[in-house]
Amino acid sequence: MSSGDDFSQQPTSLLSDVEDDRADEGPRQGGLGLGLLILRLALGVTMGAHGLQHLFGLFGGPGIGGFARALETFGYHKQTTLLAWITGVTEVGGGVLVIVGLFTPLAAAGLLGVAANIVYAKFHGGFFEQQGQGFEFELLLGATALSLLFTGAGPISLERNTPWRRRPLPLGLVSLLLAAAAAVVVIVLTR
């Protein structure tokens, strides 16, 4: 190495490029915003539609009563009607917030908590989806929500100028802890 090498331009950490305020500018990151929008739409529409099925029986869904009975078949035996309401509202509310890109880490944490509970409930049925058993689909939804915890909504969103969009990692970690705590509380209190 020569004495003229300038190391001042070297990143100070592995996350410095991710946290850079200019990370969404320029042609180098041009597809990132669109990719995150597509990811948010897929997760938000899917979870929101499930929530509408659970709450109101739309799209051939069971409604609250039917969903509460379905929860019993998955091993939830306490407060199933309340759990059905909480799950449905979380799916619809979290889905809408993820779609528009507002409070994305917290909304994604709610959706992750729901997906984690479904994976836990279906785990005994094996990985692949067969006759209502298997958790591959819910695992994919949970992984998508987990990804959004740490990336945030991206530049094509309502949270463009929020502190957590500029530095998503701290709120992402807090949101992950909230999702894990919520999932554990639901399992402990309702199973």
Whole-number pLDDT of residue 18: 44
| Tens place of pLDDT per residue across the chain (191 aa) | 555 555 455 444 444 444 444 444 445 566 989 999 999 999 999 999 999 999 999 999 999 999 999 999 999 999 999 999 999 999 999 999 999 999 999 999 999 999 999 999 999 888 998 877 889 999 999 999 999 999 999 889 998 788 777 778 888 999 999 999 999 999 999 98
Spatial separation of the C-alpha atoms in residues 69 and 159, rounded to whole Å: 38
b/e code 120-133 from CB counts within 10 Å (16+ = b): bbbeeeeeeeeeee
| Count of C-beta atoms within a 10 Å radius of residue 147 | 15
Give the pair of three-digit tokens for residue 141: 């939804």
Round the average pLDDT of the chain to a whole number and report it. 86
pLDDT in tens, 110-128: 999 999 999 999 998 889 9
pTM: 0.83
